[in-house]
């Protein structure tokens, strides 16, 4: 890859920022959490997380502060719990 393109991609990455807990409050969305060890999943209330971590805390980093309630693992991943359209039956 050329230097120009590499610098441009680096600039684009610096402009992006992770979704923060405050952003989810405005959208009315919770935090979806799942355990990478046992597969257990749950949705955490955004307001509760904001009271503990603050509104500027990045959603992907919330998992590092959690523990799975099923197996006790600290290998938890998090993302915004955006509404889904249900299960996809067919792809075109």
DSSP 3-state of 40:
coil
Q: Which domains does the chain have, with CATH numbers?
A: 19-80 (2.20.28)
Q: Which residues contact 27 (CB under 8 A, 6 or more apart)?
A: 80
Write down the pLDDT at residue 64.
95
Is the model's pLDDT at 88 over the cut of 70? no
> Which tens digits make up the pLDDT trace of 3-28?
888 888 888 777 777 889 999 988 89
Write down the pLDDT at residue 74.
96
8 A C-beta contact, residue 76 and residue 33:
yes
Is the model's pLDDT at 86 over the cut of 90? no
């Amino acid at each position: 890859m050329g230097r120009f393109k590499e610098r441009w991609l680096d600039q684009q990455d610096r402009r992006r920022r992770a979704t923060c807990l405050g952003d989810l409050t405005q959208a009315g969305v919770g935090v979806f959490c799942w355990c990478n060890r046992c597969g257990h999943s749950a949705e955490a209330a955004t307001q509760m997380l904001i009271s503990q971590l603050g509104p500027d805390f990045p959603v992907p980093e919330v998992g590092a502060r959690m523990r799975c309630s099923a197996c006790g693992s600290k290998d938890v991943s998090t993302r915004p719990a955006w509404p889904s359209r249900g299960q996809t039956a067919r792809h075109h």
